[in-house]
A = this chain, B = another copy of it.
Amino acid sequence: MENSSETRCENCIIRKLNALNALNKNELKRISDSKVTKRVKKGESIFEEGEKLNGVFCVRSGVSKLSKLSENGKDQIVKLVKKGELLGQRSVITEQSANLKAVALNDMEVCFIAKQEISTNIEGNIKFTKELLLRIADDLKTSEDALVLLGQKTVSERLLELFRYVKDNFGLDADGYLAILLTREDMANIIGTAKEVTIRTISSLKKEGSIETDGKRIKLL
């Protein structure tokens, strides 16, 4: 951890993307003074399931996977969090320990903002609270939609949906491949199947012409 004097929340465009955009100059200054910027390497965890969180993490760059361990020892990935989103907001709001584990999918830069800063603004700034409410309500819809996906669709449908989701939310690289790389196991843990099944499904999607691959990279057709 290192305090980042070079970056001030007031000037950070990232905050436009989350509930923090409802704060005014003074409120942002306070947050900026107390925040701590942290670099997280690919594969490292930001917090663990069950951990008591002392604040939220604002994602400046990189992508994180939020997952929950099932009793059978396998992870279910519940959400991919991208630049601009707040990690751990639910836990801070409800003052519960984290329901999910957060792991970096690639190198990340996150700003830690202490719980108290968030609570103060929830108490004092109704615009901020409303924004939070909207974001969480949206997360809820996303999660409910994912439930339908898992409950009603076949593996290949779920996999295609995942690829579309990644394309829409993380974009493509210069060659037109999906911009973030997920291991076959991560994919499997998102769509709720075994990694071998995912691999075979990728093969058949290739055969039927829905996708193309280049090593690990995947292109939607």
If the complex has contacts A94-B138, A126-B123, are A70 and B152 also in contact, measured as CB distance less than 8 A?
yes
Chain B hits for A132, CB < 8 A? 133
Report if A199 contacts B (CB, 8 A).
Answer: no
Quick check: B144 and A68 within 8 Å, CB to CB? yes
- Tell me the A133-187 residues at the B interface (CB within 8 Å): 133-134, 136-141, 143-148, 150-153
Chain B hits for A129, CB < 8 A? 126, 129-130, 133
From A6-14, A27-35, A71-79, the one touching the partner chain is A71-79
Q: Shortest CB–CB separation between residue A203 and chain B, in angstroms?
A: 22
Q: Which of B70, B144, B151 contacts A148 (CB 8 A)?
A: B70
Quick check: B152 and A94 within 8 Å, CB to CB? no
If the complex has contacts A93-B137, A133-B129, are A78 and B147 also in contact, measured as CB distance less than 8 A?
yes
If the complex has contacts A99-B144, A140-B90, are A74 and B130 also in contact, measured as CB distance less than 8 A?
no
Q: Shortest CB–CB separation between residue A17 and chain B, in angstroms?
A: 17
Residue of B nearest to A158 (CB): B151
Chain B hits for A130, CB < 8 A? 122, 129
Chain B hits for A126, CB < 8 A? 123, 126, 129
Report if A87 contacts B (CB, 8 A).
Answer: no
Residue of B nearest to A143 (CB): B143
Quick check: B134 and A93 within 8 Å, CB to CB? yes
- Tell me the A15-72 residues at the B interface (CB within 8 Å): 68, 70, 72
Q: Shortest CB–CB separation between residue A51 and chain B, in angstroms?
A: 15
Chain B hits for A70, CB < 8 A? 148, 151-153
Quick check: B94 and A134 within 8 Å, CB to CB? yes
Quick check: B99 and A145 within 8 Å, CB to CB? yes
Q: Which of B93, B147, B148, B151 contacts A133 (CB 8 A)?
A: B93
Residue of B nearest to A188 (CB): B151
Q: How far is the CA of A147 from the CA of B75 in the complex (A)?
A: 11
The 3 closest A-B pairs by CB, nearest first: A151-B192, A70-B152, A143-B143
Additional A-B contacts beyond A79-B144, A90-B141, A139-B140 (9; CB < 8 A):
A68-B145, A70-B151, A78-B144, A100-B144, A129-B129, A140-B143, A143-B144, A143-B147, A150-B192
